[in-house]
Structure formats: C-alpha cells, structure tokens
Amino acid sequence: MILIADGGSTKTNWCQLSDKGQRVYFNTEGYNPDFVGTPAIVASLQKNLPDTPPRQQVTEIYFYGAGVSSPAKAEVIAAALRQLFPNASKVEVTEDLLAAARALLGHSAGFAAILGTGTNSCIYDGQKITYNVDSLGYFLGDEGSGSFLGKRLLRDYMRELLPDGLQEALRVEYELGSRNDIIDQLYNQPLPNRFLASFAKFAYDHNNVSYCRQIVVESFQAFFQNIVRHYPSYQNYSFNCIGSVAYNFRDALAQVANEHGMQVGKIIRSPIDDLVSYHESEATH
C-alpha cells in the first residue's frame, strides 16, 4: 500500500492507494518544516490519520511539502513518517513544487506554478525541476499568494482604507481585535503565514466589490513582474498553476497571464488526483 501526500502550509491532502488501485482520500493540517518540528507533526498525524487500514500495511510514502527546501527540512517530515509507519521501506519527502510539476505536466516539459498560502514556480524538463526563481517567502516575496493578498487586505484594514463597508465586514468576520492583538498574532504567534492567507477568502467572498477585484489583479501583476518574467523565454511556455488562490481567482489570473504573453494551460485547485495517477503510471513501468 502506498501513501501519497500533497502538503501545503495550511492543509495536507492525502491519498491511500491500495495494491488493487483503490483510492481513499483524507486531509490533515499542513506541515511546513519552516514552522513545525517532528514531534508536532507526529502528534498531529496520530490525532488525524484514519484508523484503517493498519499503518503496518503501508510500504511506500511519497510526501510533497511546502517548505521542503533542503535535505534537513525533508528529514523533519521523514522522521515523523518513519515513526508512524515502521514498515514503510521507502519514505520520499520532496518539495511541493515537484508535485505541482508532475500533476500539471506529467512527463512533459513546461512551466508550473503554485499559488496557495505561498508562491512557487519552476521550469520542468519532464523529470526534474531545472530552473526556479526564489519566491523568498511571505516576509520578502510570495507575490500572488494568499499570504501576499492577505497582507494587503490587513494593511489597508489597519490604516482604515477599506471601502464600501468592507472595514466593518472584515472586523466582524475575522473577529479582529486591537492593533496590538493583530501585531501579536503576526509576530509572536505560530504560523503567521497561515493567518495572513486566511484573509484571501474575504477577497473571494467580496469579489463583487471593485476594490477586491483590483487587489487580486495587482497581486497577480506583482507575481508576473517579480517572478515569472525572470524566467528565460517564459513566453514560450503555457502557464500552468495549482492552488486555491490560482483556482478561485482563475479568471483574473488568466487575464494577467495573457497580458504578459502567456497562454493558459491547466489551472487546478489541488494536484492530488493527478499526482496519484502519476505514481500509478510509474508503478506499472
């Protein structure tokens, strides 16, 4: 039995693939090793993994995760998985960007991106990632992501710049406290990137307001200006993207991509189905 996981900073999508090709899907919270350690991952998985089938039946695990930027980061997650699945002879932990590329492009070469809680992108040769422009994380970059969009919303809220009744709507919906409460949440509490990204839903829910549409387009413009345009010959590729932000705002994203000379290929919410199909095809070869 094989376990395949697509792990974002907020949520991890799992598929349990039996030897007969049966698929069972479930979700847990996200495990970004930039923010959580092995003991916290073990505790979360012990609480949230389904009871069936027995963990002893799992022989292979493929985990693709946000924040898996080095062997040391990968080991944070791999150590937790080995502890929970002692009979797994293969535990492979790699970056979520490879999951996006495999799900979007299979064995074909092309451009692949992630726009979810964070941002990432690459050129893929059909087997491996060959070129990557660093998104720099939510502090310095992550243009186009949920955290980038949330940062803009929250900043305008704190400066009382939100129009059309949005100021009060945001305060009520997110139960926002004082300025000091918000600063504490950002600087002293765990997972500030997830806190920022939670505000992207507000922009989606209020997409009928011109302000919300405008900041979404500006967020994607920043993504193309600061990241996509720095790929050599980027206009020779179609634009393929995965993630909740990409999918929920796909019309605006396609508009901006076209403005920058890229035709749109696949835009999907989650890679898990295509990723499982990729590993099924690999197993038959």
Identify whether 193 is part of a domain: no
**pLDDT given at position 255:** 96
| Angle subtended at Cα 160 by Cα 157 and Cα 163, rounded to the nearest 5 degrees | 85
Question: Residue 283 has what pLDDT?
Answer: 62
Please give the residue range of the domain that contains residue 26. 2-100+272-284
Cα maximum dimension of the chain: 59
pTM over 0.85: no
Q: Does residue 276 contact residue 104 with C-beta atoms inside 8 Å?
A: no
**pLDDT above 60 (res 285):** no
Query: What is the DSSP track for the chain?
Result: -EEEEEE-SSEEEEEEE-TT--EEEEEEE---TTT--HHHHHHHHHHHS-S-S-GGG--EEEEEETT--SHHHHHHHHHHHHHH-TT-SEEEEEEHHHHHHHHHHTTS-EEEEEESSSEEEEEE-SSSEEE-----HHHH--TTSHHHHHHHHHHHHHTT---TTHHHHHHHHTT---HHHHHHHHHTSS-HHHHHHTTHHHHHHTTTSHHHHHHHHHHHHHHHHHTGGGSTTGGGS-EEEESHHHHHTHHHHHHHHHHTT--EEEEES-SHHHHHHHHHHHHH-
Which tens digits make up the pLDDT trace of 60-117?
A: 999 998 888 899 999 999 999 999 998 889 999 998 899 999 999 988 999 999 999 8
CATH number of the domain that residue 14 is part of: 3.30.420.40
Total domains present in the chain: 1
Other CB atoms within 10 A of residue 67 CB: 24
DSSP assignments along 92-108, one per residue:
EEEEHHHHHHHHHHTTS
Tokens for 84, please give them: 């929970």
Is residue 135 in a domain? Answer: no
Q: What is the pLDDT of residues 22-60, one digit of tens each?
A: 888 888 988 888 888 999 999 998 888 877 667 778 889
Instruction: Pick 178 or 19 by higher pLDDT.
Output: 178
pLDDT, residue 235, reads 94
In a domain, 169, yes or no: no
Round to whole Å and give the CA distance between 44 and 17.
Answer: 21
d(CA 107, CA 90): 22
pLDDT at 284: 58
Domain assignment present for 247:
no
Taking only the tens place, the pLDDT of each residue in 145-188 is 999 999 999 999 999 999 978 999 999 988 888 888 889 888 98
Residue in the block written with tokens 């992501």 = 145
Average pLDDT on 202-226 reads: 94
The better pLDDT of the pair 279, 76 is held by 76
Residue 75 lies in a domain: yes
Q: What is the mean pLDDT of the chain?
A: 90
Within a domain: 239: no
Q: Which comes out higher in pLDDT, residue 193 or 229?
A: 229
Decide: 99 and 272 in contact? Cβ < 8 Å.
Answer: no
Q: Which of 5, 45, 11, 53 is nearest to 194 (CA)?
A: 11
Q: Is 19 exposed, middle or buried (0-12, 13-18, 19+ CB in 10 A)?
A: exposed
- Which comes out higher in pLDDT, residue 230 or 86? 230
Rounded-to-integer distance, Cα 11 and Cα 153, Å: 22
pLDDT band at 194 (very low <50, low <70, confident <90, very high): confident
The share of the chain scoring above pLDDT 90, in percent, equals 56
Q: Which two tokens stand for residue 45?
A: 């998985």
What was the pLDDT predicted at 53? 60
- Within-domain flag for 15: yes
Determine, yes or no, domain membership for 76.
yes
